[in-house]
Amino acid sequence: MATTLLRNHLGRALVDGVGSSYFSKAVVGRLAQTLDFQKMGGNKDYRRVLHAHYADSSEAWLTPVEIFAPHYAEAIGRSMLSRHRATFGANEPLRICEVGGGTGTAVVSLLSWLQRTSPADYERCQYLLLEPSAHFAQVQAARLRDAGVGAERARVVHAPASDWHEALGGTQEGGWSLLLLEVLDNLPHDKLRLDLASGVLLETHVEPAPPPAADDETAEGGTRLHRPRGPLPACTALTQGHTPTLLRTLPPPVSS
């Protein structure tokens, strides 16, 4: 039975499955209006407001940059600008690359703050969004247009960051700040298991789901462990003593 490497299976489930993947739908939500924290008496009021939003939303979840807009992105902008000036000097344009920009709240809030507080830096700023989801790439482009942000200031590239970097074939000019919000827990990844008896690392592969029975639409595929069919990336695994050990890139096994 043909199996699929876990990272490839997750990639299709999250993004690559056109029209059916997780991020092809509006799973990341937006607030109708920003929260007025000054009118909240404390944690109880805060939770009540969020509960009201989620009660009206069928499946979309809110990210911190959305809940605490615009303050969250503005704080990131202040930190980026300060570190950028300290590292590259005041004459070097601020360049930001955001991977997985969601609904565009971070880019719109950050650039609005920069334009308001430091117009000179805003006029030279470059903001690049790398978005693997076609749905959210369109959402981000629309947010930028609605905010009056031109293509010379910010642009959206519909591509996974890894594919974009490979196609670039080199490095970007100047110093860049990299921004990833709520991304690491939504990335395709490998799952490795160390066979303590042989000392061999095994990769997790996903089996295709069997055809569902007439009265059961919940059929799911299983998983199998295989010896790696190619070089392994650097990764962290647990040894027998439960001590994290960094495993460097390993050659493929001689036989499977």
Residue at a domain's end among 186, 220, 236 = 186
Cis peptide before 119, with omega less than 30 degrees from 0? no
Region 132-155: mean pLDDT is: 96
Domain that holds residue 213: 192-247
Is 165 inside a domain boundary? yes
**Per-residue confidence (pLDDT) for residue 246, from 0 to 100:** 39
pLDDT, tens digit (0-9, with 9 covering 90-100), for 179-221: 999 888 788 888 888 888 888 888 899 988 776 555 554 445 6
Looking at the structure, tell me whether residues 138 and 178 fall in a common domain. yes
Residue 89 belongs to domain with CATH number: 3.40.50.150
144 and 211: one domain? no
Number of domains present in the structure of the chain: 2
pLDDT at residue 20 is higher than 50:
yes
In this structure, is residue 4 part of a structural domain?
A: no
Is residue 31 in some structural domain? no
* Residue 232 CB neighbour total at 10 angstroms: 17
Contact (CB, 8 A) for 50 and 67 = yes
Say if residue 241's pLDDT is above 70: no
* 181 inside domain: yes
pTM of the model: 0.79
Q: What is the pLDDT of residues 213-234, one digit of tens each?
A: 555 544 456 888 888 877 665 5
Domain shared by 204 and 149, yes or no: no
Task: Note whether 126 and 152 are same-domain residues.
Answer: yes
Judge if 92 and 168 occupy the same domain.
yes
How far apart are the C-alpha atoms of 102 and 110, rounded to whole Å? Answer: 14
DSSP sequence for 134-200? HHHHHHHHHHHHHTT--TTTEEEEES-HHHHHHHH-S--SS--EEEESS-GGGS----EEEETTTTE
R_g of the chain, CA atoms, integer Å: 22
